[in-house]
């Protein structure tokens, strides 16, 4: 497990922020975290929010993680819990004046600071929460890719889509097809476009699938 975690963390840190490669590596790391024993949980109904905030924190700060023992697995669990326990604690504080960015220790009769969260047992990790986080990450990625595809189709900077067309009708090019089939609020069908341009339905479909889709960056990713 230690070797696996070490490789996954190294893979994440190898890529720069906001790249698809880093996000893929981060997804694999989050899945591995699901196997870590000792991750704090709580019966509070809003625990998923606290845990998701922790995963977001891990995603942003994994580059700063340093193992402080011979076991990366134990170090990583402690590192995650150090943040997660305060997010759990936030759930039980109803005072509007409470600042979630500050630490509010409890003082016992001897005057020592204690944290009740430290007494939490080590229940099993809920994979459903991780699935939810991964789904959100994937949806964000799809939205970014969708925006990039839309921008490319509309601008067609290198005229690749415009210049890719059937010999019979140059107006029915890949840019026009992409806009009508993918971007319109009410997309048209291949059959409708075929009738408009008096083209064979199967011929147009083959051209769209074999030529046009392959000319749109990110489409197959």
Domain residue spans of the chain: 2-143, 156-215
Which whole number is the average pLDDT over 30-48?
80
Which candidate, 73, 34, 82, 26, places its Cα nearest to that of 54? 82
| Digit-coded pLDDT (tens) for 75-95 | 999 999 888 888 888 877 643
The answer on pLDDT for 158 being more than 70 is yes
Of the candidate ranges 19-33, 61-75, 113-127, 206-220, the one whose mean pLDDT is the lowest: 113-127
pLDDT of residue 45: 79
Share of the chain above pLDDT 90, in %: 17
Instruction: Give the global pTM.
Output: 0.44
The answer on pLDDT for 51 being more than 50 is yes
The answer on pLDDT for 115 being more than 70 is no
The answer on pLDDT for 120 being more than 60 is no
d(CA 218, CA 213): 10
Of the candidate ranges 43-47, 77-81, 114-118, 156-160, the one whose mean pLDDT is the lowest: 114-118
d(CA 47, CA 89): 10
pLDDT of residue 195: 92
d(CA 133, CA 152): 29
Which whole number is the average pLDDT over 195-220?
84
Strand ranges in 24-120 using DSSP code E only, listed in sequence order: 106-107, 113-114
């Amino acid at each position: 497990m230690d070797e696996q975690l070490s490789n996954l963390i190294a893979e994440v840190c190898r890529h720069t922020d906001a790249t698809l490669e880093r996000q893929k590596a981060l997804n694999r790391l989050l899945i591995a975290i699901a196997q870590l024993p000792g991750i704090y949980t709580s019966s509070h109904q809003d625990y998923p929010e606290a845990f998701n905030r922790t995963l977001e924190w891990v995603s942003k700060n994994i580059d700063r993680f340093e193992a402080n023992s011979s076991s990366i697995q134990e170090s990583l669990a402690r590192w995650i819990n150090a943040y997660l326990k305060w997010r759990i604690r936030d759930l039980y504080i109803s005072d509007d004046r409470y600042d979630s960015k500050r630490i509010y220790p409890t003082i016992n009769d001897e005057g020592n600071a204690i944290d009740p969260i430290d007494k939490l047992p080590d229940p099993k990790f809920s994979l459903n929460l991780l699935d939810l986080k991964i789904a959100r990450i994937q949806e964000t990625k799809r939205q970014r890719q969708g925006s990039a595809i839309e921008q490319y189709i509309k601008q067609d900077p290198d005229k690749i889509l415009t210049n890719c067309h059937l010999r019979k009708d140059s107006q029915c090019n890949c840019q026009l097809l992409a806009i009508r089939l993918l971007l319109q609020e009410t997309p048209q069908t291949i059959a409708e476009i075929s009738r408009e341009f008096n083209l064979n339905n199967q011929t147009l479909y083959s051209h769209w699938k074999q030529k046009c889709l392959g000319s749109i960056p990110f489409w197959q990713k």
